Chain A
Amino acid sequence: MSDVRHQAQRPIPFFCFASDIQRATTEFNDVQFDIHSIKLGQDVTAEDIAEDLEFLDDWEERYRYIIDLGKQLPGLPDTLKTEDRFVRGCQSQVWLETDYDSEADTLYLAVDSDALIVKGLAAIVLSALNRQSPQAVRDYDMDAFFDRIDLLGHLSPTRGNGLRAMVAKIKQQAGQLAA
């Protein structure tokens, strides 16, 4: 819609191998989806995100940053947007894909949303939970993290954006694996 790109005071970290969002989406839709390609949580951690957000002080910069995170996160191919991966929100929808590597005791996550801000917030969730052990995922205090980065309102049950339900779903699966 607009080619006005923001002038970030520092570059936004890329965490997947395609820098062209359009191309990335198409590729992921056409080519086989690989959940292990999402390096968020490893190359870019929750700590990195928190530092970036701390650096951005006005709401415009913060939301441009979140939206960019959403744009960079590879979406799920339509074939994976099935009922069992679906997390219903009142305002927006979320899809969640998980894969557990039992040898490495690592949980891999991929998410998608039809709304960009929610997708960006989901990317932030992944920075904390992706590529971790189920136990670490289960025990992670997401509310505390979102409170720290001053985005707790988005996790509120009243928002109806599917984000809270998504975190609960991830934690539930992690809890079962960790048990």
Chain B
Amino acid sequence: MSVDINALRAQFPILDQQVNGKPLVYLDNGATTQKPVAVLDALQNYYRGVNSNVHRGAHHLSDQATGQFEGARQTVADFLNASREEILWTKGTTESINMVAQCVARERLQTGDEVLIATSEHHANIVPWQQACAATGASLKVIPLREDCSLDQDAFEQLLNDKTRIFAIGHASNALGTLNPVKDMIAKAKAAGAITLVDGAQAVGHFPVDVKALDVDFYAFSGHKLFGPTGIGVLYGRREQLEAMPPYQTGGEMIETVSFEKSTWNQLPYKFEAGTPNIAGAIGLAAAIQWLNGQDRGALLAHEDALLKRATALAEACDGLKIIGTAASKVSVLSFLLDGAHPADVGMLLDKQGVAVRTGHHCTMPLMDSLGIPGTVRASFSIYNTLDEVDRLFQALEKVKTFL
């Protein structure tokens, strides 16, 4: 079955606009995805008809808001194949990882312990561990990349040992698109006795994720990369892990009882949700997931594959273009450099032609250092992009070449 791309695009009103006098070609989906009408409506309807604080009001609207908010949690739980107690609302992937670094790593790491990550990680999956290591005397170990920018699995197995307390890995690389064999790696890390975390920010918008099948302890993602609103994210935590974790922040909502001498903590998942949560964000995210569940995800995945194939073929035929990241398994991301051209210049000249890409180090400075490049130009595709838009990217690149 194929995707009715026009009908799909019609559900994303933002796509229909001119930028610098040209039809917008939005290829910055790795940074954030656009939102379908279903999500926009859910946000509107919440604030127009339901807005109220959750879990505490003795009135109709509060009941409704609580019902929608907790229903959203169930939607996310079903989406990941988890239980609702295992779904924590956060601001996004970054906060989700910080929560684990704060409440697990800093609590349990000791001198001599190791945290294992990969060279290709986003800063959000580096810095929290680095800081936890600095605070506890543990050390950060890094899996190197092979020539094609896939993870060096031999090195991974050598780095993994009985001192590895935490293994934190990106499901897919934001800068290069490389899809990591996380299931296999989690199994090995688990066998070595490590707590495992997957940064799923660049995965959930592309393909279905099953945390039980992955057998992972923690899975983090952001709503806005999954067609949902910004400022809402998720941390899935295996129940035993969450029960063993101390609270992240303290205050309202997360308590059971409070006296001036002592407080006791609420049950899961509320123990980790201090203060009034992002209610609209959670409801908006659930609307995005429900909308996505209503699509033929197999067909969408095949469509994204076709976009990447076309882009890769055109890139290979493009004089002076070098693809950065040529792993066999990738999400629909094309990172590249134009011979002798700074990525910022390429990005600016593409923007002038209505083509939105991201340029720079993509919050992966250690990765760029390891590749010996200042950054890349990144075209990241999503379900609503068309083959024609891929062609337009390369037509625009031909024009860019005449400038530099």
Contacts and interface: CB of A to CB of B under 8 A. Distances in A.
B401 A92 contact: no
B402 interface: yes
Interface in B344-361: 344-345, 347-349, 352, 359-360
Contacts of A117: 344-345, 348-349
A114 B374 contact: yes
A118 B344 contact: yes
Interface string A1-22: 1101010000000000000000
Contacts of A1: 320, 338-341, 401, 404
Interface stretch (A38-46, A59-67, A77-85, A171-179): A59-67
Given A1-B338, A91-B360, A115-B345, A64 B403 contact: yes
B255 to A, nearest CB: 40
A91 B344 contact: yes
Contacts of A116: 341-342, 345, 404
A6 B375 CA distance: 28
Contacts of B345: 67, 115-117
Contacts of B402: 2, 4, 6
Nearest to B21: A59
Interface in A77-136: 90-92, 114-118
A1 B341 CA distance: 8
Contacts of B342: 92, 114-116
Size category, B interface? 20 to 34
Given A91-B347, A117-B348, A2 B404 contact: yes
B360 A59 contact: no
Contacts of B341: 1, 116
Given A91-B359, A91-B360, A114-B374, A161 B344 contact: yes
A172 to B, nearest CB: 24
Contact of B344 (A2, A63, A64, A115): A115
A67 B403 contact: yes
Contacts of A114: 342, 374
Interface string B234-262: 00000000000000000000000000000
Nearest to A160: B360
Interface residues of A, number: 17
Contacts of A59: 20, 352
Contacts of B339: 1
A133 B389 CA distance: 51
Contacts, number: 46
B404 A92 contact: no
Contacts of A90: 360
Given A1-B341, A115-B344, A118-B344, A63 B360 contact: no
Interface in B281-338: 320, 338
B90 to A, nearest CB: 24
B96 to A, nearest CB: 24
A91 B360 CA distance: 5
A43 to B, nearest CB: 25
Identify which of A4, A114, A116 gathers the most chain B CB atoms within 10 Å of its CB. Answer: A116
B270 to A, nearest CB: 37
A115 B377 CA distance: 13
Interface in B375-402: 375, 401-402
A86 to B, nearest CB: 14
A59 B349 CA distance: 10
Contacts of B343: 91
Nearest to A114: B342
A59 B21 CA distance: 11
A114 B343 CA distance: 10
Contacts of B348: 63, 117
27 contacts: A1-B338, A1-B341, A1-B404, A2-B401, A2-B402, A2-B404, A4-B402, A59-B20, A63-B352, A63-B403, A64-B403, A67-B345, A67-B403, A90-B360, A91-B343, A91-B344, A91-B360, A91-B375, A92-B342, A114-B342, A114-B374, A115-B344, A115-B345, A116-B341, A117-B344, A117-B348, A161-B344
Interface of A: 1-2, 4, 6, 59, 63-64, 67, 90-92, 114-118, 161
Given A1-B341, A91-B347, A117-B348, 6 more contacts: A63-B352, A67-B403, A91-B343, A91-B359, A115-B344, A116-B404
Closest 7 CB pairs of A and B: A115-B342, A115-B344, A91-B344, A92-B344, A4-B402, A91-B360, A2-B401
